[in-house]
Amino acid sequence: MGFREAVAVNKMSAEASLLFRPPRRAVGARWDPRSSKNLTRINRRTPLISELNITRIDTRQDDLGAALAALRAKLSPRGDVVSERGRQLTLDVFGAPLSPQQVVSRICADVQNEGLDAVLRYTQQLDGADVTAPTLRVSQQEMADAHAAADPQFLATVRRIRDNILEFQTAILHQDHVVTRPAGVTLTQRYVPLRRIGICVPGGAAAYPSTVLMTAVPAKAAGVREIAVVAPPTPFGANNTDVLATCHEVGVDEVYRVGGAQAIASLAYGVDGIAPVDKIVGPGNLFVALAKRHVYGEVDIDSIAGPSEVVVIADDTTRPDFTAADLLAQAEHAPGASILVTWSEQVLDATLAELNRQVATLSRSALTVQSLQDFGALILVRDQQEACEITDLIAPEHLHIATDHARQLVAKIRNAGATFLGNHTPVALGDYVAGPSHVLPTGGTARWAAGLTANDFLRSGSVIEYSPAALREVAADVQMMADKEGLSAHRGSVDIRLE
């Protein structure tokens, strides 16, 4: 059952019409009474596209729990949802209607057993690219040429963003901690960088140099020496000038033309030409997410990511045109979940009117409309407290508190990957320039997971040192615990040192 169906189930048509009623007129004065321009903008109904049919929930009368559960199920990487093109490609390659999870298991097993031959075969079959062993790795000359060909202003932007990320990630980097006790006890919690990590950079529908920055730069801040980037052999992936130029600029010299599950398996198991890594990070499609789950334990991973999400909390002071722009920025990921939570019905209506107006101007308008209608929601709550409770239930990847006194509200919310405060802090700042990584927990996992940081590229271990006197001081406690647990050799390892 879909998200809208879950909300409207067992309701009469009159009640359903309340869920999807059109925006009201004359609401602009509540959010900016001084601006006649803004008031006109809200009142005008722009007929550029048909009216958006976004799920609308009123917590005073609708089954919020069922609606949120349905949305979360649709956004999670469960492994049983695939496009018609994906189904046909699966039949063509494997000769059977395998599920995405079965496809990933087959690919990973083949790469583990056959090595590079399987990687190149699947790259040709799934991506239609004739990559060979000599062309698998992007050459140093190609990297340098891409850097030389890149727009100088783009490279200047990359450098500024790199510096922002380094400043923040270095500031939060764990340092060794030493605890000493009398009689000669020294306890150290030690942090060392991982030796080698792999980064997935998507390259299907668009190029993402920002992913290179938000993953490689934190790893560099942690002191990782070897970084291998994998990206599909496409014009938006490993063959993209901006992506290669960004890698070159931040000091990444290993880039491989391979994507999908075969890329994850290559990094995890190692093949001829690609050495295995200790950790894999970075976003990707469903097959990448499932492959990361499959190899976890062989290597570490950052997360099993689903589609992007945002929750915007708004009040009477929030500008609906800003809020609509924030919701559209997530929806254009397609899929992307864009959810408005507010206790102001006027702001909700005005935001819907702005969505209708703004979406028609986007370059990915059709995909954005589909994403809004499949995964978006406008939730009218009773008050601020209920808004915080609902946000904690959703545990969004991105949370934008666009209200008056936003800092007071954030103190009441525990679960969010990254939080943005005020009307002048759009999520795009975190996506691109602020400094914290934009690799964040999705699908409600912000209840227990956190965004990627430089500390995720450190391995922590304890170092313990006792003097003879310190050993004698605690020997009786060791002996007692060893006797209680029936581990005589444990006790013996202390007793022999006391003789």
> Catalytic residue positions?
397-398
Cβ-contact 457, 196 below 8 angstroms: no
Instruction: Please tell me the distance from the alpha carbon of residue 242 to that of residue 431, in angstroms, as a whole number.
Output: 17
The two structure tokens encoding residue 250: 């931040």
The two structure tokens encoding residue 449: 């997971």
Largest separation between any pair of C-alpha atoms in the chain: 92
Cβ-contact 336, 330 below 8 angstroms: yes
Q: Which residues pair with 190 in a beta bridge?
A: 461
Cβ-contact 213, 446 below 8 angstroms: no
Cβ-contact 78, 7 below 8 angstroms: no
Cβ-contact 299, 279 below 8 angstroms: yes
Instruction: Please tell me the distance from the alpha carbon of residue 199 to that of residue 279, in angstroms, as a whole number.
Output: 9
- Strand 458-466: give its sheet, edge to edge: 177-181, 185-193, 458-466
The two structure tokens encoding residue 52: 């958006």
The two structure tokens encoding residue 301: 């991973």
Q: Nearest 5°: phi and psi at 441?
A: -70, 140
Give the start-end residues of each E strand in 207-350: 226-231, 254-257, 279-281, 300-301, 308-314, 336-342
